[in-house]
Amino acid sequence: MERDNDTFKNLRTIPITSSQMVIAKCIVLLLLSIAFCISSTVASILCGFVFFGVTDILFKVLFSAVYGLLIAISALPLILLIVFFSRSYIFSIMLCVFYSVFNLLSTFSMTALPKWLVLTLPTPSIMLWGTQQMSSRTAINDTEDLQNFIQMGLIPSTPQLIITLGVIGAVSLLLAVYLYKKRSE
């Protein structure tokens, strides 16, 4: 959008570095992702009160905030690709659709993928980790699939997930800062 509307040069007049600009944009992304997940959870809880009983509300709201943070970090490579290619809106939308379909397919076919790939791909890792965390706090009758994933070693530990997402986030941020510096020169 900055390139299409020719606002990048106006943003460069603000006395902040490229690093600060990238970090500010990522913080906004993280906050919006967390707000979206919390609002979705609160809406689900409110609807749940109407039809069902809802328990452990604080855990669910806090877990949705963590989930929003993790999903936003997993989207950083996509944002990096959009910045790198710096194309039109259509290209960005196509890239988002491809990334979403890729994550969906990798999530549905994780038992057929190599274990190292499932543990490296952010979205399947987050979903498996989240499923295990939620199942430990809720009464779920059908945990056969979860048990199969545990036996196959596909569910990452919390430190393993944090390290994977930390590396993905750090590399994405560093490359985005580099691209912004290169663009401003």
Q: What is the tens place of the pLDDT at every residue in 69-85?
A: 999 998 888 888 777 77
Model pLDDT for residues 13-37, shown as the tens digit of each residue: 777 777 788 888 889 989 999 999 9
DSSP code string of the chain: -TTTTT-HHHHHTSS--HHHHHHHHHHHHHHHHHHHHHHHHHHHHHHHHHHS----HHHHHHHHHHHHHHHHHHTHHHHHHHHHH---HHHHHHHHHHHHHHHHHHHHTTTTS-HHHHHHSHHHHHHHHHHHHHHHHS--S--HHHHHHHHHT-SPPHHHHHHHHHHHHHHHHHHHHHHHHHHH-
Model pLDDT for residues 116-142, shown as the tens digit of each residue: 887 788 888 888 888 777 777 666 655
Which of 42, 85, 73, 49 is CA-nearest to residue 162? 73
Model pLDDT for residues 131-180, shown as the tens digit of each residue: 777 777 666 655 666 677 777 777 788 898 899 899 988 998 888 888 87
Query: Angle of helix 158-184 relative to helix 76-85, nearest 10 degrees?
Result: 20
Question: Residue 60 pLDDT > 70, yes or no?
Answer: yes
Q: What is the pLDDT of residue 34?
A: 94
Left if phi > 0, otherwise alpha if psi is -120 to 50, otherwise beta: which for 155?
beta
pTM of the model: 0.78
- Check: CB of residue 173 under 8 Å from CB of residue 76: yes
Q: What is the pLDDT of residue 4?
A: 62
- Confidence category of residue 12, pLDDT binned at 50, 70, 90: low
- Check: CB of residue 122 under 8 Å from CB of residue 164: yes
What mean pLDDT do residues 102-129 have? 81
- 146 vs 45: CA distance, rounded Å: 24
